[in-house]
Amino acid sequence: MTTKKLKKLGKKIKKSNKKFRRATPEQKRVLIAKDVLKELAAESFITINGRWVVAEQNIVTEKELEDNAQLSVALKRLPQCEVCAIGGMFIAAVKRYNKIQCQGLFDPYSCSALGYSDYTHSETAALFGFLEKFFTPKQLSMIEVAYEGDAAGSNTSILSQNERDKVLEFHSNNGNACEMPDDTLEEKDEKRIESKLCMKAIMENIVDNGEFAP
């Protein structure tokens, strides 16, 4: 990308971030959901289950981690990544809000991913703490259950049985099936199509309602 194009992109991002800061909480949620939909359409987001964010390359460099740099700067050079619903909203919100730093989110030995099975308490607190600027803890739990189903890993105990049943029905109606380690390539491809449709349905619901309301 040329210097001229970078400057133009920088101005566009700055204008977009200014608009986001002035938006109401409901408008912010809608903007985040719309950005996830755009990333899905552009295939910048590839849907996965069970992990927040995974990239082929390091999301942050050792220097950025050491300097506790702004994560939004690192994301500008990331062409594509795998995300779950929570991870997709996190990336979209970071790009919009532009105010979260790298330390606490990344381990020096795992700079290409967020949310493996051994993710730390600090990662969880940092990621969900940031998203709670825009969504309530209950909303985030509902979104995770809607996408991951019974495999949801966040604090879903805050949901009533009625709320959980309603969200699981949404999950079932939108056909999301979790990938398994022994799935064939064909099965994985089919499940990724389903997970993309499910994420799309969740984001469209937020756009329509100003929050996730299954």
pLDDT digits (tens, 9 = 90+) for 66-100: 788 778 877 877 888 899 999 999 999 988 876 77
133 to 34, 90, 126, 140: CA distances (angstroms)? 17, 11, 11, 11
Q: What is the pLDDT of residue 181?
A: 67
Give the pLDDT band of residue 116 (cuts 50, 70, 90): very low
Q: What CA dihedral angle connects 149, 150, 151 and 154, to 10 degrees? A: 90
DSSP character for 214? -
Q: Please give the residue that has the higher pLDDT: either 145 or 54.
A: 145
Report helix, strand or coil for 154: coil
Give me the residue label for tokens 């499940």. 191
Which pTM value belongs to this model? 0.82
Please report, for the chain, the start and end positions of each structural domain, with discontinuous segments joined by +: 18-209
Task: Compute the distance between CA of residue 2 and CA of residue 192 in angstroms, rounded to an integer.
Answer: 35
- Long-range pairs for 18-21 at CB < 8 Å and ≥24 separation? 20/96, 20/97, 21/97
pLDDT at 189 over 60: yes
Average per-residue pLDDT in the chain? 81
Average pLDDT over residues 26-53: 92
Task: Compute the distance between CA of residue 103 and CA of residue 159 in angstroms, rounded to an integer.
Answer: 30
CA nearest neighbour of 196 among 80, 82, 30? 82
Radius of gyration of the chain (CA): 17
Q: What is the pLDDT of residue 59?
A: 80
